[in-house]
Structure 1
Amino acid sequence: MGIELHFTKGQGTGNDFVLFSDPDGEVTLTPDQIRAVCDRRFGVGADGVIRAVKSAKLQAGAASLAEDDAAEWFMDYWNADGTLSEMCGNGIRVFTRFLIDNGLVELLPGDTIAIGTRAGVRDVQINRTGFQADLGRWSFDGGEPLVRGKNLPVARPGLGINVGNPHVVVALADDDELDSLDLTFIPQLDPELPAGANVEFVVPGDPLVVDGVGHIRMRVHERGSGETLSCGTGAVAAALATRHWAGASAPHQWRVQVPGGVLGVRMFPTEDGEHVSLSGPAELVFDGVLNLG
């Protein structure tokens, strides 16, 4: 039986998503359907699909409500290849915009909304660039695998960082190296990580720090989606890795240039350890209806 899917296309710095509302958890898309929706030639085209579902109506949402009973809504995120993803930094901002614009929540400047995700509950606020999401604690995770990329002459050491989902960050020498990468080919990790990883290639700004803010440029190959114009959690991982490489005097605020725009990253102390936040725009582009077989 077919599904009539009422959807919204949204994007955050070019990282684009198909979003739909399913408060009671009645609509289940198959991986084949998700791939069809995300196909840029035969479907709507997107880096992923996001379902807005009440946490109480989803098995994965039970953990979110146990962590914070204010996490009424769950961001059910699927990569373009039909696989599940734990977290999406650009996606959670666009998801929040979707909830607000569809009258599902009210969020005023200064207020915070708790959103359930498979990486845990994440808090989102309105800010001057759009939205800011507290992505919680982070960790070094995944070691330092060698990374091979198409058009990189030699393998480079990466740094494994987890911000709710796995990343490997690679430092490059200059813009020419970054621009020459062919990310239609999946970067190869040695050793491979059990769950795979998003891979970020980063070039530091010259100068690296301007008025107390660090500046970097990056491109990313996302697990399950390929190269994207932006990856929010990837920008966070790239800033964390660059701060680590730069040493104790490095700043805790960063400006990350991605092909789709600019994102802000901030590291700050909390009672349960250092958190990291991501800020940037979130826009809804158009609405539509799909008939899915």
Structure 2
Amino acid sequence: MTPLGTGAFIKGHGTGNDFVLLADPDGAAPLTAERVRALADRRFGIGGDGVIRAVRAGAAGDPALDDAPAGSWAMDYWNADGTVSEMCGNGVRVFVRLLLDAGLIELADGAAIEVATRSGLKRVIRQGALFAVDLGTFELGGDRLVAAHGIEVARPGLDVSTGNPHVVVALASADELASLDLHAAPVLDPEPEGGANVEFVVPGSIADGVGAIRMRVHERGSGETLSCGTGAVAAALATRHWSGDAADRWIVDVPGGRLEVEVDERGHAWLTGPAELVFRGEEIDGGVSRAR
């Protein structure tokens, strides 16, 4: 466990959804849109789908993060384009892994920590090398049309709220999923206020109460990513709805790996998956970095 000093960062990912991680316990170095864009730039910066600052609740400078019990840790998450985001399912697991690695918390196997996010407190349980996140209750909304490069006709998408807004679209085959070009953002009709993440899924089999799906995602503010935690949950919940609630546990395969989604007896959605830290370094020359 190694403390992080001023200007130091850790690079981490959850099933390929990657982040620049900064430890700022006392809130001495608030993020700005300009700094986030510089850090997340894959050519001139460190590179990542987003930037995460670990700060004590009460010192974050954001009422949505500071309205948490004293002593709580807050996840200040920003998209790569410099916009703030409510929540990140992969990011919150990597956030807890950062706290452990930096020696900021101790968390035994099976123990839990509550993390303040812009969509409320999220309970994270350590399960060996994996972390399970209680995303709380979810909401299924209405339908809207979704057009994307690689599919000839716009498809219906289901609104799903898992702390972040999502629109989930079912496709017929793995070939159709592979043919998508998600460099450009899908077009939603009507366009939701504030935008949404868009998940394209291919439902698989359901056996012994466990369902399987494959998914790709375009995240608002980041573009196509190898994985999206809250998006995997949204995709599983939409498929569960379409199947008549045939299963409460879902295996979600994304380009960056595999995640598990489960709906408990309270109607809470849980996301379980890995959290990896891959290197550490320090910022120099206004955003250029060197690994160490």
Any conservation in 1 of the 2:65–2:74 contact (CA below 8 Å)?
no
In structure 2, what is the equivalent of residue 96 of structure 1? Answer: 96
Change (3 A) 1:101 1:90: same
Cα distance in 1 for partners of 2:150, 2:223 equals 16
Count of residue pairs the alignment pairs up = 282
2:247 to 251, 258, 272: 251
Q: State the 1:31 CA deviation.
A: 1.1
In structure 2, what is the equivalent of residue 195 of structure 1? Answer: 194
Cα distance in 2 for partners of 1:71, 1:144 equals 41
In structure 2, what is the equivalent of residue 9 of structure 1? Answer: 11
Change (3 A) 1:129 1:60: same
Seq. identity, %: 60
Q: State the 1:110 CA deviation.
A: 2.0
Cα distance in 1 for partners of 2:77, 2:242 equals 32
Query: Normalization by structure 1: what TM-score?
Result: 0.93
Structure 1, residues 41-99: CA drift from partner, whole Å, max 9, x if none?
A: 11111000000000011243566644xx2661000000000000000000000000000
Structure 1 unaligned regions, length at least 5: none
AA aligned to 2:82 is G
In structure 1, what is the equivalent of residue 136 of structure 2? Answer: 136
2:234 to 229, 234, 237: 237
Any conservation in 1 of the 2:30–2:60 contact (CA below 8 Å)?
no
Cα RMSD (Å)? 1.6
In structure 2, what is the equivalent of residue 217 of structure 1? Answer: 214
Cα distance in 1 for partners of 2:98, 2:201 equals 31
In structure 2, what is the equivalent of residue 177 of structure 1? Answer: 176
Structure 1, residues 188-232: CA drift from partner, whole Å, max 9, x if none?
A: 000000010000000011xx1133210000000001000000000
Structure 1, residues 217-255: CA drift from partner, whole Å, max 9, x if none?
A: 00000010000000000000000000000114x110000
In the alignment, does 2:287 pair up with 1:288?
Answer: no
In the alignment, does 2:223 pair up with 1:226?
Answer: yes
Query: Normalization by structure 2: what TM-score?
Result: 0.93
Structure 2 unaligned regions, length at least 5: 288-292
Change (3 A) 1:229 1:62: closer
Change (3 A) 1:75 1:233: same
Any conservation in 2 of the 1:50–1:75 contact (CA below 8 Å)?
yes
Q: Secondary structure at the match of 2:143?
A: coil
In structure 2, what is the equivalent of residue 186 of structure 1? Answer: 185
Q: Secondary structure at the match of 1:239?
A: helix
In the alignment, does 2:259 pair up with 1:263?
Answer: yes
Any conservation in 1 of the 2:65–2:76 contact (CA below 8 Å)?
no
AA aligned to 1:36 is A
In the alignment, does 2:148 pair up with 1:149?
Answer: yes
Any conservation in 1 of the 2:109–2:128 contact (CA below 8 Å)?
no
Q: State the 1:28 CA deviation.
A: 2.1
In structure 1, what is the equivalent of residue 271 of structure 2? Answer: 278
Q: Secondary structure at the match of 1:144?
A: strand
AA aligned to 2:278 is V
Q: State the 1:128 CA deviation.
A: 4.4
Cα distance in 2 for partners of 1:13, 1:62 equals 27
Any conservation in 2 of the 1:65–1:72 contact (CA below 8 Å)?
no
1:41 to 40, 43, 49: 43
Change (3 A) 1:203 1:39: same
Any conservation in 2 of the 1:47–1:80 contact (CA below 8 Å)?
yes
Any conservation in 1 of the 2:58–2:70 contact (CA below 8 Å)?
no
